[in-house]
């Protein structure tokens, strides 16, 4: 019940998982994160924000406010309870999401 509520809130804030299946991309992000001294998520966020600025696509004030609220929510409610929790395997994710042979 708590997990489904948590997932609902994450969807509400537009926070969904990004699953990168390209080993070269994962390796590149891992190296960028290491060099910056940040998490992979922070590295992806920073690179994406830099690219958006480069492309001339700044966040609107509404988008920035939504982004800031989502990060605050994650910092206060998600990250503290997930610290030290091992990531789900692909099979566990599919079971959680209700996938079965009908959808594959």
Structure confidence by residue, pLDDT tens digits, 28-84: 999 998 888 888 888 888 888 888 778 877 778 898 899 899 988 988 988 888 888
Question: Cα(16)–Cα(47) distance, rounded to whole angstroms?
Answer: 18
Q: What is the pLDDT of residue 5?
A: 57
Structure confidence by residue, pLDDT tens digits, 5-30: 555 556 555 565 778 888 999 999 99
- Contact (CB, 8 A) for 15 and 70: yes
Confidence check: pLDDT of 3 > 70 = no
Q: What is the pTM of this model?
A: 0.43
């Amino acid at each position: 019940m708590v997990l489904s509520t948590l997932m609902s809130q994450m969807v509400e804030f537009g926070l969904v998982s990004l699953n990168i299946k390209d080993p070269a991309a994962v390796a590149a992000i891992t190296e960028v994160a290491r060099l910056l001294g940040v998490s992979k998520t922070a590295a992806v966020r920073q690179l994406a924000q830099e690219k958006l600025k480069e492309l001339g696509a700044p966040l609107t004030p509404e988008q920035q406010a939504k982004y800031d609220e989502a990060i605050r929510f994650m910092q206060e409610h998600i990250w503290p309870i997930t610290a030290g929790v091992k990531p789900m395997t692909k099979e566990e994710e599919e079971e959680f999401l209700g996938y079965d042979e009908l959808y594959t």
